[in-house]
Amino acid sequence: MTGFLNTLKSSFVIPAALVGVLAALLMIPGTGGSGQAAAQEAAVAVPPPAIDLPAAPRDGVQTAVLAGGCFWGMQGVFQHVKGVRSVLSGYSGGAASKAQYEEVSTGTTGHAESVQITFDPRIVSYGQILRIFFSVAHDPTELNRQGPDEGTQYRSTVFFANGGQKRVAEAYISQLNAAHIFGKPIATTLEAFKAFYPAESYHQDYLIHHPDQPYIVFNDLPKLRNLKRLFPEWYVEIPVTVASSDMR
């Protein structure tokens, strides 16, 4: 968000609903506001990646770390994806000493608000995780922003953990750009994964706990509707939560 709204968003004194109302009021055409919401509602399924990581029969769980705007919505989307075992909101890209919400919100730490997705590759592949990421989880053409949230901490990034993930992500971005899937080039960056730091507890499962918060209603619930509409075979009604992730 802007610095003003970011302060409100992180405050324990100002009601979250008021933050959402103020955010919605600032979302005007031409600034990534109502146009962003319309884009979310009009999202289209991108084609599957031509290159993907194979899943061996005895593969255990794998992990993807992705950044694409406020982690509330990113976490909320992937919690409803079949084969996903856990999703944590957190920070990646910067130092451990800077992995606190107030500092990350300044946009000077190198961190991006991110999600750590643990998934079963025998059910959902890394490429399919990226397909949902590029299609419904965020707008990959936005540079250092998503909707009302602006700054490098809201950048679109794939934090690749190994050469295989880097190869799949690079090839997929090239594939989507060559097919002119979006009206603008993809702005998603690739960064070598170094560490992931879980966010504060009040950020975890935020969409699940606050589905009526105006910020969530305006920015993030359309993503869930698009996931269900465009990828019904990957959508699960009951989300995996941070508390239950070890049981799924």
Question: Is residue 213 annotated as part of the catalytic site, yes or no?
Answer: no
Helix (H) or strand (E) holding 192: strand 189-192
Question: Looking at 69-108, which runs of residues are DSSP E strands?
Answer: 84-92
Please name the residue ranges forming H helices in 96-162. 101-104, 126-132
Residue 129 tokens, joined = 């995780």
Nearest to 114, CA basis, from 167, 59, 72? 72
Distance separating alpha carbons of residues 103 and 137, to the nearest angstrom: 24
The active-site residue, picked from 16, 70, 207, 242, is 70
- Burial of 128 per CB tally in 10 Å (0-12, 13-18, 19+): buried
Nearest to 75, CA basis, from 43, 114, 126? 114
Distance separating alpha carbons of residues 5 and 248, to the nearest angstrom: 36
Q: Is 110 left (phi over 0), alpha (psi -120 to 50) or beta?
A: left
Strands 112-119 and 84-92: antiparallel
Question: Catalytic residues, which ones?
Answer: 70
